[in-house]
Amino acid sequence: MKIYRARVFTPVADPFTTDADGSYVSHDDGFIAVDGSRITSVGPWDGHPDGEIIDLGRQTLLTPGFVDTHLHAPQLEMIGSYGGHLLEWLNRYTFPTEAKFSDPGHARKVARALCDELVRHGTLCALIFSTIHREATSIFFEEAENYGLRAIIGKTMMDRNAPDYLLESAKDSYDDSRALIRQWHGRGLLRYAVTPRFAPTSTPEQLELAGALKREFPDAYVQSHISENLNEVAWVRELFPEAEYADVYDRYGLLSDRTILAHGVHLTEEELELLSRRATRIAHCPNSNLFLGSGLFPLHRVIESGIGVGLGSDIGAGTTPSMFTAMADAYKVQQVQGVSLSPFQLWFLATLGGARVLSLGSETGSLESGKSADFLALDLRATPLLAMRIERAASIEDLLAALIFMGDDRAVRSAWIAGRQVWTAQPLNSTS
Ligand SMILES: [Zn+2]
């Protein structure tokens, strides 16, 4: 048994629907007890059980690992490619970048870089788009496994409206996806997501086969995009004149409680109602929405519709893998719409809320007895300015706010997944 001593903060309930006070547990001087891969108890230091003590000090905050509910692994190297809104940006930067993943050596290099960046930024669980390439997708799975990451990954499916070099037949796409599901879905901490990129790049035949995969493997995930940009919404209306955007996915059996759609900035009331009925979830990607000028996400309208929302970095349209930035940008996107999110709400979205969106809420996302030991040690003195700001933090709420708006990868001192240390910026002291 290992006993980690430091400050402790964890969400335990949804602060959008419960009292802020009842939504978290916080100890100024606390502990997490870990036996193997599991958390066995969490509490104030004076109630700690016996075990090997790892004292991290009061200037360290133990908190759950971050959960990124939407990102594109192959786009890591094109972050900050500027100019243009969504559809132009895809053609100008994204498709040529993704084409390079026909080379397994390139895929290996980027997969390792991505895993490095995720753990270094404290993201311990992620839902990830690959490219159309089967081998590159396998390589992303292999590297996630090597790093010990909890990851849901899918091979992108596209059979129209992209350059020829990124198109496949609907049948090949089905066969490759099926082989990948059989190889990777449910192996250790890895899961598979059936991944039509978005309605415009799939023919009805391909969407039909994506739905067939979901029927064949009911516990596999589905990920795609929806209503990110107004030109995209208009294009979907041209391609599928008889249906609204969400209906297109629904018609092919792609909406369920294991479906996560990125963005949802411009959804209609009818679409919100449909997604709610299907228990489909939304990955809100504020950094990307601002970068591509896609629009302002109506968070409260979506939550009030009963739809689960998590945060996504959406790299490479998002400009950093940092979930600190995702929280800060989510705050700002709501601020300009007249709504102030609390630090507790933001932290929930980046941890337990994201885990629930991925149907992993009973396994990860919070520090609670019985859950997987997926946690971070954040350094409250990571930079001189952060140390100065934290010094005057009068409450845990204020301390979290300082981290949200000033924190970055420098604050992530160490990270553990299933009790195993997957990242450290410096060796830890251990005393028995
Ligand atoms: Zn995306």
Residues of the chain with CATH 2.30.40.10: 2-65+366-424
pLDDT digits (tens, 9 = 90+) for 260-307: 999 999 999 999 999 999 999 999 999 999 999 999 999 999 999 999
The predicted model scores a pTM of: 0.97
Q: Is the pLDDT of residue 429 over 80?
A: no
Res 432: pLDDT = 37
CATH number for the segment(s) 66-321:
3.20.20.140
User: In the predicted model, what is the mean pLDDT of the chain?
Assistant: 96
Res 53: pLDDT = 98
113 CA distance to ligand 1 middle (Å)? 19
224 CA distance to ligand 1 middle (Å)? 8
For residues 111-116, give the mean pLDDT: 97
79 CA distance to ligand 1 middle (Å)? 12
98 CA distance to ligand 1 middle (Å)? 13
Q: Is the pLDDT of residue 72 over 90?
A: yes
225 CA distance to ligand 1 middle (Å)? 6
Share of the chain above pLDDT 70, in %: 98
251 CA distance to ligand 1 middle (Å)? 22
Res 337: pLDDT = 98
Residues of the chain with CATH 3.20.20.140: 66-321
342 CA distance to ligand 1 middle (Å)? 26
- According to CATH, the superfamily of the domain at 2-65+366-424 is Urease, subunit C, domain 1 (2.30.40.10)
Structure confidence at residue 431 as a pLDDT band (50, 70, 90) = very low
Res 430: pLDDT = 46
Looking at per-residue confidence, does 89 or 359 come out higher? 359
Comparing 78-92, 111-125, 146-160, 415-429, the range with the smallest average pLDDT is 415-429
For residues 153-160, give the mean pLDDT: 98
The 3 state secondary structure assigned to the chain is: CEEEEEEEEEECCCCCCCCHHHHEEEEEEEEEEEECCEEEEEEEHHHCCCCEEEEEEEEEEEEECEEEEEEEHHHHHHCCCCCCCHHHHHHHHHHHHHHHHHCHHHHHHHHHHHHHHHHHCCEEEEEEECCCCHHHHHHHHHHHHHHCCEEEEECEECCCCCCHHHCCCHHHHHHHHHHHHHHHCCCCCEEEEEEECCHHHCCHHHHHHHHHHHHHCCCCEEEEEECCCHHHHHHHHHHCCCCCHHHHHHHCCCCCCCEEEEECCCCCHHHHHHHHHCCCEEEECHHHHHHCCCCCCCHHHHHHCCCCEEECCCCCCCCCCCHHHHHHHHHHHHHCCCCCCCHHHHHHHHCHHHHHHCCCCCCCCCCCCCCECCEEEEECCCCHHHHHHHHCCCCHHHHHHHHHHHCCHHHEEEEEECCEEEEECCCCCCEC
285 CA distance to ligand 1 middle (Å)? 8
169 CA distance to ligand 1 middle (Å)? 22
Q: Is the pLDDT of residue 174 over 90?
A: yes
21 CA distance to ligand 1 middle (Å)? 34
Structure confidence at residue 427 as a pLDDT band (50, 70, 90) = low
pLDDT digits (tens, 9 = 90+) for 179-231: 999 999 999 999 999 999 999 999 999 999 999 999 999 999 999 999 999 99
